[in-house]
A and B are shown apart, each in its own frame.
Chain A
Amino acid sequence: MARLTRAIRWLRGLLGRVSDDEIDEELRFHLAMEAELLERGGMTRDLAVAEARRRFGGVVQHTEELRDVRGGRIMENLLQDVRYALRLSRRFPAFTAIVLLTLGISIGANTAIFSVVNATLLRPLPYLDDSRLAVLFSQNPDKSLPRFSVSYADFLDWRAQTRSFSGMAAGTGSSLTLIGDGEPLRLNGQSVTSDYFDVLGVRPERGRLFAAGDPATESASEIILTYDFWQRQLAGDPKIIGRRLRTGTGERTVVGVLPRSYDRDNPGVDAVTVLDPASIPGVENHAQHMLGVIARLKPGVTQAAAQADLSAVAGRLAERFPEIAGWTVNVFMARDEATRTLRSPLLVLLAAAGLVLLIGCINVVNLLLTRSTLREREVALRQALGAARSRLIGQLLVESGELAVGGALLGLVVAHFVLKLIVSRAPAGLLPSEIALDARVLLFTLVLAVATTLVAGLWPAVAATTPRLAKALRDGGRSSSGGIRALRARRMLVVAESSLALVLLVCAGLVIQSLRNILAVDLGFDPTRVVTMRVSLPGPRYNDTTQVQFFRDLQSRLEGRAGIDAVAAANTPPISAGGITTNLRLIGSARADGGKVMGPATAITPGYFRAMRMRLLRGRDVAWSDVKPTIVVSQAAANAYWPGESPIGRRIGFGPRDTVGFEVVGVVNDTRARGITVDTPLMIYLSYAGATNVARTMSLVVRGRGDAASIVATTRAAILEIDRTLPVYNVRPVTQVIDDSLGQSRLNTTLLTIFAMVALALAAVGIYGVISYSVTMRQQEIGVRMALGASSNNVLALVLREGGLLATTGTLVGLGAAYFATGLVQSWLFGIGRADPTTIAGTAAVLVAIALLASYLPARRAARVDPLVAMRGD
């Protein structure tokens, strides 16, 4: 053992290293000698040892410093640095608190937005090999319809004639009524081709899925349940497979249960049945768009290749069938499609959060520079004692790293709350329910912390250890030339952060005004105290006549009951992006296109305009007594289709072959029926009697006087009086429908505004810090000025001018950057240009005003300074 120790010692000696033992021994010798000397001077032995130790200042500490000199071990240094940094943070509590808060908020904002990105954009779809899954749409470039549903006839031809896909399947939403013991239950269904789940790549949780190639007749009485429905409605019945369920259209056997992951991508779906082509009205018509189509790319086939293949097929079909002239096809990857509405706003918000972090880092750099000025003497002394520069930079980086890690931890807390805000404010169905701070998010936060350390810590560390030692020691920590140099750099930093803050402010300003514009839009109807709910009249129990009769009966029963003012129905809710867009024919039109147009149409029952408080401008409403279905058009449609003429008495045909059409009997005011931000649609309102075959499911609109709940209860009771098996669903006040449709823009606006406010606050702190520093640096100069007769107000103006100048410069730079940045939020804007001068001038003024405010405190301090004290420069 002793031999080994000696060998190691010898080896160390060879390498030119002094071992720890030797250092200890040398220092112990010193202490012994010192103690002996003191003892000879008359001290007791114990006292002499203690005094020697005191004079030396602790053996441990010096051993550490000796290790420093000989460039000791990295881990040891790191631990020591961490301990030192912790001691240091306690020494500067205010500094530490501000830095942690700054980093916590800015890292937290990034972490929160990234968690959403992580849970949406970065997550694969719950299907096997989802990267090859594509979604196919009919598209009509002339009519700006990039994503239109597909006709069954097109689907069959696409599937037969393309070579790029290993499978292609179709599906559509359907409704199904489950008749049990209690009130009838309406199911949200899907009906799909039998190979749908094979193409999609789903394995059953229980039982089996539809057998591909199954003759549709065989699967016609089968039903597959979603996991959620199985758990929620059937209590997870273990013997579910083979169970028979009574539905509005006959008995069906449960053959399988879908996995839980299927619910995530198809929220709200209860059950899936096989698509029966015979149930599609006009199934052989290529223009009967009504299916969603998915397809799986063959290995090695790119999206572009598949698009080319399918476009060629669609082109041939469009030539052969005149009803789909001008129609072609779009191939989108399912992954991109699933996050289409989220991607661009999320990336914008991520960028905004990134800017906030950058501003936060700039502030931290500023604070670190200030502190390193205070610590210049300490650093100089350590360098004098031989500590290597790399060692000192390392130590300073450990210090900022420790702050960054602390900030990141705080950031996780902040992120938790921001995430809560996001989830609670997001409209239903926009975000998946399971957004969490998972491992990937934690990794992201860690990377942010490391990046922050390097970005915010490196420069101050390098600056602090730049050799100008003699000077620092001589000046006693008030190195003025280095201070001035640092001041110049810090002014530039403040200009940079002001400009970044302005970018965010301008974007937020534009977005806020857009939201205000959206809220101020005249809807064309009165949404207050109107409740909408869906009711579905199943065939074959209901036919054309009884469908109409149902609503007439309901109206006459309900209107006049307590709390109910008006009742009517339409095939879409008052505000919805969906609804029928159909081929119309303006009969007898002299237009160049022969009156063949495509436009939105809604089926309504009499009294709809009254219930919605719309204004009939000419003619009359549709009526129960009409012998034939009639039409009311919106003002915009009247102006577009029959400019300068009265539309009353004109006829409109549905579909290109209809040459008889229905008569226009009235004109109503324009509404925002297809979405608040969608330009006034050219609405055609057709009485329901003419559309019973396409609209078995209708939206009731009930205007009442009480609260929504009592309106709904009264309505539900009246419906059950007419038909005990009819469920009512999707019950929502119209004001809530509108709120939900604005949910995402409201959320985006809220987040962007919060980020901009944080950025503004950080910029203000930054300006305050630099102006305070500058005032301290210029104390002597200010003293001289005051001694020479400058008044307090002169000094105040001098300092304020400095702050104002920094902010103005930042504003000018920021305006340039904002010019590009506003392009990113252009799609969010409504009723306002991206270069709106009022917004730009307003936000610039706010920034400068805040900067002046932030400069005012140090300015006042400067103005109150005693010239004599200042000149002495203590």
Chain B
Amino acid sequence: MHPNADVLQGTLDLLILKAVSLESMHGWGISQRIQQFSSGVLEVNQGSLYPALHRLVKRKWLEASWGTSENNRRARFYKLTALGRRQLASETDTWRRFSAAVEAVLAVTAAVN
């Protein structure tokens, strides 16, 4: 396992964990939520969303169960586990440090220009 091996993967995981941290949601809901939260900037590639969801379930950061959607369809809902909550906290922290570092670098570059 390489938790920080990949920016894309790490970021998508973080976004998913964040999206389901408030309430349990189905896959489509998660993709809509991420899009809303980011004011439409981050569009989740639906092709990578479901593999990511299954992977997170496998890692026991999410729990999946079948339920009924808002329009009365059968849907698979994902819920954050305790392990997932801890992971969310630590990834949020890592991300903040990372983006701060990038910000700092960009600021320096701007000064040189």
Contact = CB atoms under 8 A, between A and B. Distances in A.
Q: Is the contact region of chain A dominated by helix, strand, or loop, or is it mixed?
A: helix
A386 interface: yes
Nearest to B64: A18
Instruction: Please tell me the size bucket of the interface on B.
Output: 20 to 34
A469 B74 CA distance: 37
Interface in B1-53: 2, 5-9, 26-28, 46-48, 50-52
Most buried by B among A26, A32, A70: A26
A283 interface: no
A386 B8 contact: no
Most buried by B among A30, A32, A467: A30
B113 interface: no
A505 B28 CA distance: 66
A55 B51 contact: no
Nearest to B6: A384
A468 to B, nearest CB: 9
B97 interface: no
A62 interface: yes
A69 interface: yes
Interface residues of A, number: 31
A57 B7 contact: no
Contact of B28 (A22, A29, A70, A384): A29
A25 B74 contact: yes
A469 B6 contact: yes
A153 interface: no
Nearest to B71: A36
A235 B33 CA distance: 93
A754 interface: no
B7 A29 contact: no
Most buried by B among A25, A34, A66, A69: A69
B28 A69 contact: no
B51 to A, nearest CB: 5
A802 interface: no
A29 B75 contact: yes
Contacts of B94: none
Contacts of B69: 29, 33
A32 B54 contact: no
B73 A386 contact: no
A383 B48 CA distance: 12
Contacts of A30: 26-28, 46, 50
Given A30-B46, A469-B6, A473-B6, A386 B76 contact: no
A36 B76 CA distance: 18
B70 to A, nearest CB: 10
A70 B2 contact: no
Given A56-B46, A469-B6, A473-B8, A32 B51 contact: no
Q: Is the contact region of chain B dominated by helix, strand, or loop, or is it mixed?
A: helix
B91 to A, nearest CB: 15
A62 B48 CA distance: 9
Given A22-B76, A26-B27, A29-B75, A385 B51 contact: yes
Interface string A25-43: 1110110111010000000
Contact of A470 (B5, B46, B76): B5
A30 B8 CA distance: 22
Given A30-B28, A467-B5, A473-B7, A69 B54 contact: yes
Contact of B52 (A27, A32, A386, A473): A386
B96 interface: no
A559 interface: no
Contacts of B5: 384, 467, 469-470
A32 B55 CA distance: 23
Contacts of B7: 470, 473-474
Contacts of B8: 384, 473
A385 B46 contact: no
Nearest to B56: A386
A65 interface: yes
A29 B74 contact: yes
A18 B75 contact: no
B58 A70 contact: yes
Contacts of A61: 47
Given A385-B48, A473-B7, A70 B27 contact: no
Contacts of A18: 54
B60 to A, nearest CB: 10
Given A384-B6, A469-B5, A62 B71 contact: no
30 contacts: A22-B76, A26-B27, A26-B50, A29-B28, A29-B75, A30-B50, A32-B73, A33-B28, A34-B28, A56-B46, A57-B46, A62-B50, A65-B47, A65-B50, A66-B51, A66-B54, A69-B51, A69-B54, A69-B55, A70-B54, A380-B6, A384-B8, A385-B48, A385-B52, A386-B51, A386-B54, A386-B55, A470-B6, A473-B6, A473-B8
8 closest A-B pairs by CB: A33-B28, A386-B55, A384-B9, A384-B6, A26-B76, A30-B28, A69-B54, A385-B51
Given A69-B55, A69-B58, 9 more contacts: A25-B74, A29-B69, A29-B73, A56-B46, A61-B47, A69-B51, A384-B5, A470-B6, A470-B7
